[in-house]
Structure formats: C-alpha cells, structure tokens
Chain A
Amino acid sequence: MEFWHFSEQSMHPAWEHIDGPTKVTVDNRHCDPKVAHELYNRYLDEWIVADKLGYNIFVNEHHASANCMSASCLLTLAILARQTERARLLCLGVPITNRTDPYRVAEELAMIDVISGGRLEIGLVKASPFELAMSNQNPAGIMDRYWEAHDFVVKALTNQGAPFSWEGEHYNYRNVNVWPRPYQQPMPPMWITASGASTGRRVAQLGYTLATFFNGAGTKPLFDAYKDEFLKTHGRPAPIDRFAYLAITCCGRNEKEVDTRYAKMKPYLDVQPRTPKAWSNPPGYETAELNAMALKKGNTGRINFGLPTNPTRQDMADGGIMFTGTPDQLYDQITSFSDRAGGIGHLLMLGQAGYLDHEETVDSMTLFAEEVMPRLREYAKRKNMELTAAAA
C-alpha cells in the first residue's frame, strides 16, 4: 500500500466569521493575506515532513473557497518538486474541463516531472460543479470537453519528433511541441477520479489508477466494475495498486488524544457542503437523465455521506469518511474498510482538516508512519495476492 498525505490548504481561521456559503460568493476580505502566508507555508512544511516520513504527496485545487486556498495544484507541486526528494507527486487533479489551454497544462506537467526527476503522477479531473462559476466554462458538454482535453494532453506529452496540429471540437492548435518531454517515458502514471461504475469502466479500459473520495458503500460496486472491465480489456486481473481511496485520517496515542483530534477535524465535513445552492449542480454538469431522476425524488443535490445522524467515530470509519484512532484501531478500520471495498492499494489521507494544528498534524503523521504504515504494507501485499489469485 502507498500512502499519500493530502491537505486542502484551507483558510479555516475564517470559517467562524463566515455566514452562509464558504465558496464562490464568499467575501474575500475573510481571507487575510498575512494569515494565508502563514498557512500556505505551514501546509508546504507538512508535505516536506511527509516526504521524510515515507509518504507520497497529493495536492488539489479549488477556486474562490475558504475550504481550499490552492488555486493551482501545479503551482503547489512545482514548489514541492524542488523541496522534496523521494515522494511521488500527485496532482488530483488538474481540472481540464475548466482550463482553456490544455497545451499549457501539458507543458507545466512535463516541467514538474523533469524538475522532480520523474516523480509526477497525473490526475486529470472533471472538477467540482461550483468551479464552473469561476472558470466560466459551460457545464453542458463538460465530459466531451474532458475527454478531448485528456486525449490532447496524452498526445502532447507522448509526441516525439515533429510537432503536431490539433483541430478538435473544443481545442485548436497549429503547432504542438512540448519542451521538455516528461522525465518518465513514455509518460507519467495517470489517475482519474470516479464515483460511479460507468466512469470506473472507462478508467479500467485505460488502465489508469482509479481514485474515489469519501465513497463509502459505493466503493465496492465501483471497484468491482473496474476489475471486471480491466480483466476484459487487459486479459489479467487488476492489481491492487489501481485502487485509491480518500478519507480523513488521523492517529493518536490514546482515546483522549484521538477524541481531541477527531473533534478538531470533523468541522471540515460541516463546512465542505456550504456551496451556494445554484452552484451545487448547474444544468448540464450531470446528464439530463440523472437530473430528472433527482428531480423525481425531490433531491436538492446536497452532499449526503449516507451516515446516521450524530455518527460515532466508528460510524465514520465504517462509512469510509474518517479513519481516526490509535495505531491498532486505525489498522483495523482501514483493513476492514479495504476488505469490504475489495482492496485498496493507495490510501489518500486527508491528514490535515478543520482545526488540527501543525504540531498535531505532524505528530499524527509521524505516529501513523511508524506504527501503522509497515503493517498496512504487509496487509496490502497479502490482499494483492488474494485478488490476483481469485481472478486467475
């Protein structure tokens, strides 16, 4: 199993002062640049610690958000490419449906891969619905744009020799010639996020790593669809390193310490859904058929993790939302969830969330690295053998 330290680089000190949405329309006077300066550097320090502790690095981006100040995951990665030594560097991801210029995306990716000596992992994402307010890109046709941009980036990164031209539905270039080419040849590993089976199958056909976030009981059907399609397409069982799962993760020495840290991180889940209603699902972001089904059910489109009201720490772990505990408890929570999901090869760990401070974050990461990581690595090796034997 591989472990990825993730942080949304939130402006959490502002949360208590914000009424209503924390995104899109939120007043930017709530973002004090001096506080942001401290926080950005703190979060970067935590990734540098992660590198030393044997974690890999996972960064994201959002826009106009008190939940995430990273306005460009590739800017963050560009810094870490130089300041870290061992960690794999995952952007998950670049919102190619919102970028008007995928050529520039390909160039920036290649540059990071070369500076880092081949440590880049590329995640290309559809992006959250509310991002369309800022990017101004059309929600209708978003997946057509996604796949054209994806195909373009892959060709731009892998093309060698003569420049090529591209005259697509959405993008038009006369002379594509990426300098430098990626350090990893033919190109860095690719990741795609999904929550539903149809996208999962497409990711399987491509053979990319499939990542899913806070997906709980939806994870197993998604992973099963990937496995089925992977076997059909590639003629061999999908290895465990194709399955990535994101949850809030925190370690403590005893119940009291874990409870304190849990209470500091949990507000993340309350702030996260505070999206202006109009931006939770703009028309066209989902298919008309899915939207019609939601209308028929009277669904207002708010995030629902499917947890009971007032969930316990154990409910949160069972639901795949928050793995919090002592090293032994975490081992049990993560292996139990992984078993139910059908095997997780990459644990994407939101290791800083809510009000967890720098010392607590680093302490939790250190404890996990020392006490839990080695045992989970052994577990994943056994699990991978089970998976490949079962499918064979």
Chain B
Amino acid sequence: MFLSALPDRRRVAGIETELLVTGAGRPLLFLHAGHGFDTADPLIARLAKRHRVVAPSLPGFGDTPRPDGVTSVDDIAYLMLDLIEEMDLRDLIVVGISFGGWVAAELATKGSDRIASLVLIDAVGVKFGDRETRDITDIFSTTAQQIPELFFADPAKGAAVLHDLDFTKLPEATALRFARNRESLTRYGWAPTLYNPKLKGRLHRIKVPTLLLWGAEDRIVSTDYGRNYAAAIPGARLAVIGDAGHYGYLEQPAAFADEIEAFLGA
C-alpha cells in the first residue's frame, strides 16, 4: 500500500501534489488511509471501472510535500476544496478511508455544491464516548510490526499487503514513503488522538446522501462507533462487511466496491 510513487503530478493550491487519476465516468475523489496507498490499490481498481477516480497523496504523505502552514485535518479539508475547484470536479462522489474518512467528513461539513455523495469507510475523526473511555484505539502506542494484527481481520493477509514490513528487501523509496506516511499521520492525528472535538457537532451539516461501510472486525474503531457516526449524519446508512478489519477494504475489496456501486446506483 506504499510501494510505489503515483504516476501523476498536479499543483493543488500551490502544492506539487502526487496523484493517481484513473478510469472514466462520474468523478470520484478517493481519500487514502493513514498509511497511504499506491497504484496497486484494489478498491481503486474496482471503482475505476465505472468512475474517473482522482486519488491524491495528501500533504506529507507519499511524495506530496507538506507546507509549514498545513498542520491539521482542517487544513487538508480546505486543500481538498481547492482541488475540487481547480480540477472542476462536479457531481462528485467523495470516498474516504480511515484517516481519509476523517478528511472526507470535515470536507463535507464545510459544504460544496460540487459534492453529491459521501462514502466513509471505517472512518475516524469523531469523539462519542466519555472522557475516560477511548473511542479510537491509540495506534500511536503501538509498533509498526503490530499493523497487521491491529488493522486487518486476518493478520496474515495484512502482512502480505504490507510486504511483511520487511524494508530490507524493498526499494529505498518505499521505506521513505512508509516513514513519511507514519510521521504525517502522527502530525495530524496525535492528540486528540485521531479526532477533532468540534466535528461531532458539525456532522449535521452533511446534507448529501451518505453511506458508511465498516469492517465487522475493525479493531481501531468498532462497529458501534460506526453506528454512532451514521446516527450523527442525517439520513446516513451503515453497512457492515464480514471478514474485514479496519483496513477491510484491502481484504474484501469486491464486497466494499459492490456496496458502493449499489449505493451510487440507487
């Protein structure tokens, strides 16, 4: 999920952004998870069959630089509004996964008449519980070696997706992408841990049809968290997918893609 650089470059709000643009059809903005993505992403491959997928590496991730002033998910959401306008995307579907789901939710609360549908997959970004109960697993208290067991229903599958995290056998650039992605996720998500205290009170502003997809075995944010998220967005629907963890979209890409296509076709 972080093996190779993306093929395209485009200036977004003055930032030389790395991105993947693939497929044809109604535009779909794909907002990646906290460990980044690459050209082999299986969900993008499925979605690109019917959509023009625009998938940027967010500032600080992959090869996209992070200007000094960009320090929060709020900043990233505004940059995505710039991207949507600069690329003149209309009737747009926004799909965000995990950290990217947080970005997507912030983006949708800020509002744009260019956004027509929203899909949040195992998204973080909101605090529902009391002050002494974590909603979101503190991934920053864990090691990189724990990613397969924490982020995947099937750790063996996760290890394979992550190339066994054996950087001694991977290209130099891969190690740097992985290190940059982890640093940036930390920068944006350190504390409060992976949420914006203001976001819960703003979710009611999301007026577009919204689908939430959740891995039944998500060990970062539970399906109950997904239910709370769905309840906070007017008219939103939650679908839970089996044999899938927090990064379930990599374990069951066809099941996630089928749900998205059915939602968009409805």
Which of A139, A278, A283, A298 has the most B CB atoms < 10 Å from its CB? Answer: A283
CB of B114, distance to nearest CB on chain A (Å): 31
The B interface, classified by DSSP as helix, strand, loop or mixed, is helix
**Contact call B167/A283, Cβ cutoff below 8 A:** no
CA distance A143 to B194 in the complex (A): 22
Q: CB within 8 A of A139: which of B168, B179, B190?
A: B190
A296 with B167: in contact, given A282-B140, A283-B179, A288-B180 (CB under 8 Å)? yes
Interface string of B71-98 (1 = CB under 8 A from A): 1000000000000000000000000000
Q: How far is the CB of A113 from chain B (nearest CB, A)?
A: 33
CB 8 Å contact bits of A135-163 with B (1 = contact, 0 = none): 01111110000000000000000000000
Minimal Cβ-Cβ distance residue in A for B173: A292
Q: CB of B112 within 8 A of chain A?
A: no
- Contact status B186-A292, CB under 8 Å: no
**Taking the nearest CB of chain B, how far is it from the CB of A114, in angstroms?**
35
Q: Is A284's beta carbon under 8 Å from chain B? A: yes
CB-CB nearest in chain A for B168: A298
Interface positions, chain B 162-193, Cβ under 8 Å from A, are 166-168, 172, 175-176, 178-180, 182-187, 190-191
The number of residues on chain A lying at the interface, defined by a beta carbon within 8 Å of a beta carbon of chain B, is 24
Residues in chain A near residue B143, CB distance under 8 A? 277-278
Q: Which of A278, A288, A293 is within 8 Å of B183, CB to CB? A: A288
**Which residue of chain A has the shortest Cβ distance to B71 in the bound complex?**
A141
A184, chain B: closest CB distance, angstroms = 35
Most B C-beta atoms less than 10 A away, residue of A141, A169, A296: A296
Contact of A288 among B167, B176, B191 (CB under 8 A): B176
> B141: CB under 8 A from chain A?
yes
- Residues of A contacting B182 with CB < 8 Å? 283-284, 291
Given A283-B185, A298-B167, the answer on whether A292 and B190 have CB atoms closer than 8 Å is: no
Mask of A288-318 contacts with B, CB within 8 angstroms, 1/0: 1101110111100000000000000000000
Contacts of A292 in B (CB 8 A): 167, 172, 175-176, 178-179
Q: Are A297 and B183 in contact (CB under 8 A)?
A: no
Q: Would you give the 0/1 interface string for B130-143, flagging 1 where the beta carbon is closer than 8 Å to chain A?
A: 00000000001111
CB pair B175–A295 under 8 Å, yes or no, is yes
Instruction: Say yes or no: is A39 at the interface (Cβ < 8 Å to chain B).
Output: no
In the complex, how many angstroms separate the beta carbon of B18 from the nearest chain A beta carbon? 15
Select B176's contact among A140, A169, A279, A289, beta carbons within 8 Å: A289
B191 CB contacts on chain A under 8 angstroms: 136-138
- A387 interface residue, CB < 8 Å from B? no
Count B interface residues, CB 8 Å.
25
A217 within 8 A of B: no
Q: Taking the complex as formed, is A133 at the interface, i.e. its CB lies under 8 A from any CB of chain B?
A: yes
Residues on A with C-beta less than 8 A from B145 are 277
Most-contacted residue by chain A among B146, B178, B190 (CB, 10 A): B190
- The CA-CA distance from A293 to B173 in the complex, in Å, is 10
Residue on A with the closest CB to B193? A136
Contacts of B178 in A (CB 8 A): 292, 295
Query: A284 contacts B175, CB within 8 Å?
Result: no
A133 and B168 contacting across the interface, CB-CB below 8 Å: no
Interface string of A88-115 (1 = CB under 8 A from B): 0000000000000000000000000000
- Chain A: CB-nearest residue to B142: A278
| B185 nearest in chain A by CB position | A283
**In the bound complex, do residue A296 and residue B172 qualify as a contact, i.e. CB atoms below 8 Å apart?**
yes
In chain A, what residue has the closest Cβ to B192? A136
* B179 and A295 contact, CB distance less than 8 A: yes
Q: State in angstroms the CA–CA spacing of A276 and B142 once bound together.
A: 9
Q: A288-B180, A292-B176 are in contact. Are A278 and B186 (CB under 8 A)?
A: no
**Which residues 104-145 in B have Cβ within 8 Å of A in the complex?**
140-143, 145
Cβ of A309 to closest chain B Cβ, rounded Å: 23
Question: Is the Cβ of A297 less than 8 Å from the Cβ of B176?
Answer: no
Which residue of chain A is the closest to B69 with respect to CB atoms?
A169
Q: Which are the 3 A-B pairs with shortest beta-carbon distances?
A: A140-B187, A283-B182, A295-B167
What are 11 residue pairs bridging A and B, where the CB atoms are less than 8 Å apart in the complex? A139-B190, A140-B187, A277-B143, A278-B141, A278-B143, A291-B179, A291-B182, A292-B172, A295-B167, A295-B178, A296-B175
Taking beta carbons and an 8 Å cutoff, which residues of A are in contact with B?
133, 136-141, 169, 276-279, 282-284, 288-289, 291-293, 295-298
Other than the given A136-B191, A288-B179, 12 more pairs (CB < 8 A) read A140-B183, A141-B71, A141-B187, A278-B143, A282-B186, A288-B180, A291-B182, A292-B179, A295-B178, A296-B167, A296-B172, A297-B168
